[in-house]
Amino acid sequence: MILKAHHRGSTEERLMTDRRDATILLVHRGRPIPLGCVKVMLGVLLFAAAIAGVFFIRASGGGVLFYLLWVLPGVFLVDWGSPMLADGVTDLVTRRSWRTIESGRALEIGPDGVRYFGAFPLRLGAAVGRPDVVAGWAEVSAAGFRPGEAESWWWCLDLAPEAWPTEQRAEHLTVRDRLIAGSAPDESTARRRITENVLRVGTPIAVNPLICPGVSVRRIDRTIRACSGGRLRCRPVERPWWWPPRLPWRATAG
């Protein structure tokens, strides 16, 4: 009996732990600075490798044939390093602008559903207000990536009309006009951002996983599949930053 009770308690404790682990929070904070530094360093190394090949051929007394043979590898290295270096510099420059931003979009995914914040405080210790959108999994009809702000891919969750925020609850044919008419200059940051989401991607809930540090797309996909019974996915549509541009990459739309 003691062993059985201990086993039951262990099972309940494990289930509670799994439930906590199944909850993740995506917060717009900008891309991590260390990642930007890594991109810059790798980009510089690839450029250096392309140039070093030319000097090595010259130092070893190689003829024209060796230079011709190095053209393709050299171009490949430059073509690989260029976007990586540019992406890293952009990440570092953009991250500096986040110092003046007090709040960002945030999405909490859990076993009971999703909670969306239009203005989640970024300062440590700041009080977190009530979510702007709350929906159970039965109210989330679809998930997928769509082109969003700054030519980036945003992960979006489509909701049933009854799950939309009160200010934006309407038929799909009239919601755009109602949102534009209701977008007053003095509206709150949270409502303005949700309005922007609807106008850009057609749903109140949208986040850019690339600027949500600490949570990978793979973990998001694993979590939402577990929470939605495998019905919803989060699969990337663009190649990873480290993937060579000339190599084929199979994108998925979900």
Per the structure block, which two tokens stand in for 144? 């997928």
In the predicted model, what is the mean pLDDT of residues 194-207? 90
CA distance 46 to 76: 9
Q: What Å distances lie between residue 221 and 53, 159, 213, CA to CA? A: 41, 18, 16
153 and 79 within one domain:
no
Indicate the number of domains in the chain.
2
Q: pLDDT: is 185 or 163 the higher one?
A: 163
Percentages of the chain per state (helix, strand, coil), in multiples of 5 = 50, 15, 30
82 and 164 within one domain:
no
Q: pLDDT: is 224 or 13 the higher one?
A: 224
Q: pLDDT: is 125 or 29 the higher one?
A: 29
Q: What is the pLDDT of residue 251?
A: 59
Report if residue 238 sits inside a domain.
Answer: no
185 and 83 within one domain:
no
Identity of residue 143: A
Q: In what order do the strands lie in the sheet with 113-121?
A: 24-27, 103-110, 113-121, 133-135
Q: Is 226 exposed, middle or buried (0-12, 13-18, 19+ CB in 10 A)?
A: middle
Which run of H or of E encompasses 81? helix 64-97
Q: What percent of the chain has pLDDT over 70?
A: 79
Q: What is the pLDDT of residue 43?
A: 93
Q: What are the pLDDT digits (tens) for 10-36?
A: 433 443 444 445 689 999 988 888 888
CA distance 225 to 243: 26
108 and 86 within one domain:
no
180 and 79 within one domain:
no
164 and 86 within one domain:
no
Which residue among 98, 118, 139 closes a domain? Answer: 98
88 and 199 within one domain:
no
Q: What Å distances lie between residue 218 and 53, 102, 106, 225, 226, CA to CA? A: 37, 28, 18, 11, 12
Q: What is the pLDDT of residue 4?
A: 30
176 and 124 within one domain:
yes
Which run of H or of E encompasses 45? helix 33-59
Lowest mean pLDDT across 2-16, 97-111, 144-158, 173-187: 2-16
Residue pair 123/102 in contact by the 8 Å Cβ criterion: yes
Report if residue 4 sits inside a domain.
Answer: no
Q: Which of 1-10, 116-125, 223-232 has the highest mean pLDDT?
A: 223-232
Report if residue 14 sits inside a domain.
Answer: no
194 and 93 within one domain:
no
Per the structure block, which two tokens stand in for 60? 């070893």
In the predicted model, what is the mean pLDDT of residues 242-246? 79
- Domain around 81: 33-98
Q: State the residue for tokens 């939402």.
A: 224
Q: CB neighbours (10 Å) of residue 62?
A: 14
214 and 123 within one domain:
yes
Lowest mean pLDDT across 109-113, 125-129, 212-216: 125-129
47 pLDDT higher than 80: yes
Q: What is the pLDDT of residue 206?
A: 94
159 and 187 within one domain:
yes
